[in-house]
Amino acid sequence: MSAAEEVVTEAPAVEAVPKRAMTLGYGTSLVVLAALILTPLFVKNFVIFQMTMLLIYALAVLALNILTGGSGQFSLGQSAFYAIGAYVTAILMEHFNVNYALTLPVAGVVCFGAGFLFGQPALRLSGIYLALATFALALAMPQLLKLGFLEHWTGGVQGLVVTKPDAPFGLPLSQDMWLYYFTLAVSIGIYVASVNLLRSRSGRALMSIRDNEIAASAMGVNVALYKTLAFGVSAGITGIAGGLGAIAVQFVAPDGYTITLAISLFVGMVVGGVGWLPGSIVGSAFIIFVPNIAEGISKGLSGAVFGVLLFLVIYLVPHGARQVALIAQQLAAKLKKN
């Protein structure tokens, strides 16, 4: 047991990142972290807002990555959990005057519950059927949020306006910048927790289910429990991302959480590399910035340009950013040798 644990935990730390590894080396992590901390000091408020959204979507993509890359289950319905998280945060803040930071754990727990429950029927489904069922969930969510008897809480079609928090303790930071650093702190916490989760006994159980369900159950892994747990954890993280998103955008409305969002998150995961957690931020950058770039190339054809770029990514680097990182690493190793 302990020997196996050592092999798994030590592998990424030793020289090259092996194919299966889900993390970055320490050096690279530090560089990325430094860039994320320092950049906001030099850019305009709007760019800071975009970077906040980048982190938020990266969290949501990460959550999907744990579900798909970790346990091998599909989901095209992440927008539903994102919406639940956003609404929990908005309702707590606006109707109950709860502090914004405290609403996030609540959003996480509520979504964990929702995901865990949804994971129950999902247990019997796999592959394309699961994709379809989650797709259905994402489609139904905006309609459910518009329901008449929930209108008192959800604000119906109009949605709710959320007030943006000020920096605490009189820190000399603008609202945008404070929110960015707050989001960054939450994201780092969740990223580290996710990495540890996947390296733990539970993480190995998840991956064994992904690789061979029958063998996993023969080894004594409780397949049903771990699959639903994966759904729960993924939904919980998505919910926290949703809550952060509600605070950053200062507004929640049913039509902000349509199937388009779920599809974007899915695309983000594929582009970032399935099962490679650091890729989440690359995927998130793709879904935030590429539509803008596409619009810049051609206004009327932005959808087509987006589609073509996505096709290019699938053809050239089917494993997404992970493949790019791997190639870069091999190149660097070659240069070092010479």
Interaction between residue 284 and other proteins (CB under 8 A): no
Interaction between residue 323 and other proteins (CB under 8 A): no
Least distance from other proteins to the Cβ atom of residue 143, Å: 5
Distance, CA of 280 to CA of 269 (rounded, Å)? 6
Interaction between residue 304 and other proteins (CB under 8 A): yes
Interaction between residue 317 and other proteins (CB under 8 A): no
Cβ partners under 8 Å of residue 153, min gap 6: 91, 95
Interaction between residue 219 and other proteins (CB under 8 A): no
Only segment of 19-27, 39-47, 141-149, 232-240 that touches other proteins (CB under 8 A): 141-149
Distance, CA of 54 to CA of 52 (rounded, Å)? 5
Structure tokens at 330: 């091999």
- Site residues for other proteins, 183-212, by CB under 8 A, read none
What type of residue is 198?
L
Query: Using CB under 8 A, which of 250, 302, 323, 329 touches other proteins?
Result: 302
Least distance from other proteins to the Cβ atom of residue 129, Å: 6
Distance, CA of 55 to CA of 47 (rounded, Å)? 12
How distant, in Å, are the alpha carbons of 55, 115, 244, 287 from that of 91? 23, 20, 13, 28
Interaction between residue 139 and other proteins (CB under 8 A): yes
Residue placing its CB nearer to other proteins in the complex, 64 or 91: 64
A 10 A CB-CB count for 179 gives 23
Only segment of 31-39, 105-113, 199-207, 301-309 that touches other proteins (CB under 8 A): 301-309
Interaction between residue 296 and other proteins (CB under 8 A): no
Buried b (16+ CB within 10 A) or exposed e, 299-331: eeebeebbeebeeebeeebebbbbbbbbeeeee
Residues of this chain that bind other proteins (CB under 8 A): 68, 74, 76, 121, 124-125, 127-129, 131-133, 135-137, 139-140, 143-144, 146-147, 214, 263, 266-267, 269-270, 274, 300-304, 306-308, 310-311, 314-315, 318
